[in-house]
Amino acid sequence: MEASVDRRKQPRAPTAGNGNANGVASAAAEEEEGELEEEEEEKLRLRLRANENHKPESYEDLQMQLEFSPLLFSSLEQYLPFNMLHVSRELKLQYMRQILLRYSPEGERARVKRHKEYRQKIILNYQPLHRELYTMHEANFFVPSFLKAIAENTEESFRSIMAEPSPGIYTFEMLQPRFCELLLSEVENFERWVHEKKLRIMRPNTMNRYGAVLDDFGFETMLEKLMEGFICPISRVFFPEVGGSTLDSHHGFVVEYGVNRDVELGFHVDDSEVTLNVCLGKQFSGGTLFFRGVRCDEHVHSESQPEEIIDYSHVPGHAVLHRGRHRHGARATTSGQRVNLLLWCRRYLFLCVYSLKNLQDA
């Protein structure tokens, strides 16, 4: 990225011309053109601090036309110069898009475009089995004790329903049995449909060979509400050091373990700030989740201290909430089938804006 920024500031080499005069004129014209381009780029700046009193536009209706997340444009808008805050949405969009294109690698944009097309194809053609799951119905999804704790929204109310077997690992009852049954049924229906249509299913991550990304077949909005309304309040209290109050995006998926599925999951960390892991069922033995403490990137494989070693046995409907950087893995599921819902909660938009502001000052 720095190289591309530096290249823009390099003087342009003169091109060969017909005779010395033409060559000099051509070089002068190109130099002037380069200076104008640099001057235009200098105008494309973001403020260092957000305009907190400004209510940004929504860009959701343009989702299929944009190379970047509509939410990213809404977040970025708060950092626009004052003179751009009240121009038309079209002009703001053009201004922000130019900034994003300047710093975003073309390969990454192409990957996002392919994934968007893949997701849109599925959503347009897949017929959900249980449509009621795709809209947040909290009374039907969550157990009363969890809803009461969220409604009170205090550290005391959260701790009243939780166990903390090791610092930074919180377990609690969360999902109603009926919701778990319906979601399992919906995932199975989706997988059958994919098989019948001979489509390639995108797996949740590079470590799991089985499972499905819930966002890819219509659950994105519901999971967004799950994160914002139910995980963020808890994360603000228990994970402030990793931006628990600024979680703004997610990756939601199910993983499957057992016969003819993944058996275990090796020692790893998640690509998230905060991870929610809820067992959906079914009948199974084994599959213990083990934790081994938090480390930085350089020491992720270092030895664990005795007090950091904790094992957790999954219970259907019960959740585990932890930092994404908390090292963990899953032991073998020795019989039956275990399916878990995972929600990787991230500060993607926050970090994107932060990175853009740093890059423009590089």
pLDDT at 360: 63
pLDDT at 7: 31
Q: Are residues 144 and 281 in the same domain?
A: yes
pLDDT at 285: 92
In a domain, 180, yes or no: yes
pLDDT at 108: 77
Q: Are residues 32 and 142 in the same domain?
A: no
In a domain, 78, yes or no: no
Q: Are residues 290 and 163 in the same domain?
A: yes
In a domain, 80, yes or no: no
In a domain, 172, yes or no: yes
Q: Are residues 32 and 151 in the same domain?
A: no
Q: Are residues 27 and 143 in the same domain?
A: no
Q: Are residues 338 and 197 in the same domain?
A: yes
pLDDT at 39: 45
Contact between 143 and 115 under an 8 Å Cβ cutoff? The reply is no
**How many structural domains comprise the chain?**
2
Q: Are residues 164 and 35 in the same domain?
A: no
In a domain, 98, yes or no: no
Find the domain containing 27 and state its range.
2-12+20-43
In a domain, 110, yes or no: no
pLDDT at 297: 79
What CATH number should be reported for the domain holding residue 168? Answer: 2.60.120.620
In a domain, 272, yes or no: yes
Tens digit of pLDDT per residue, the chain (362 long)? 333 323 333 333 334 444 455 555 555 545 544 444 444 445 678 887 888 889 999 998 998 788 888 888 998 898 899 999 999 999 999 999 988 888 778 887 788 888 888 998 999 999 999 999 999 999 999 999 999 999 999 999 999 999 999 999 999 999 999 999 999 999 999 999 999 999 888 888 878 888 999 999 999 999 999 999 999 999 999 999 998 888 988 999 999 999 888 888 887 899 999 999 999 998 899 999 999 888 887 888 888 888 888 999 999 999 999 999 999 999 999 999 999 999 999 987 777 776 776 666 55
Return d(Cα 338, Cα 255) in angstroms, integer. 8
In a domain, 256, yes or no: yes
Q: Are residues 143 and 34 in the same domain?
A: no
